[in-house]
Amino acid sequence: MLEVTVEEHFELDRTRLWDALADLESHHEWMTDVRKLRFLTEQRSGLGTRYEITVGPLRVRDHIEVITWDRPRVLAITHRIGPARGEGRFLLAIDGAGTRLNWQARFEIPLWVGGRLTERFGVPATRRLLTRNLGSLRQWLADRH
């Protein structure tokens, strides 16, 4: 199991940060690895929303479904990237005058795709990616406000 958690404090109240994260269509603007985002459902937000993102230099497709939509605390999704399955979770907590954002990612990678070896090398790469994306989110928020 590949599991990574990154955390960062934002000088925004929890509702404003939630609204930015809940704008699923804008994720491609601040997630540095997302090349394209396409909705698979009519709805664009909320529980059950499904969409597909194309990620990375190899243009891998990630099929996503929103499984938790608890405004302004938790936004969670499932990932399906080829044979790999996973979940991503944004947890937002009040932190002084701002918000602490905890981003969790977890993937199960089949043995025939490298299993534990892929997980071992994937953890530091995934941590770097999520950390870079949080920095990009911070800049994107600053540019919007």
Question: Domain 2-33+66-144, CATH 3.40.630.10 — does that match?
Answer: no
pLDDT interval class at 139 (50, 70, 90) = very high
Number of separate helices (H) and strands (E) present in the chain: 3, 7
Query: What's the pLDDT at 118?
Result: 80
Strands of the sheet with 34-39, listed across from one edge: 2-10, 98-108, 84-95, 74-81, 60-70, 50-55, 34-39
**pLDDT digit string, tens, across residues 87-127:** 999 999 999 999 999 999 999 988 887 777 788 888 999 99
| pLDDT at residue 32 is higher than 90 | yes
**pLDDT digit string, tens, across residues 45-78:** 999 999 999 998 888 999 999 999 999 999 999 9
Q: Are 34 and 44 in contact (CB under 8 A)?
A: no
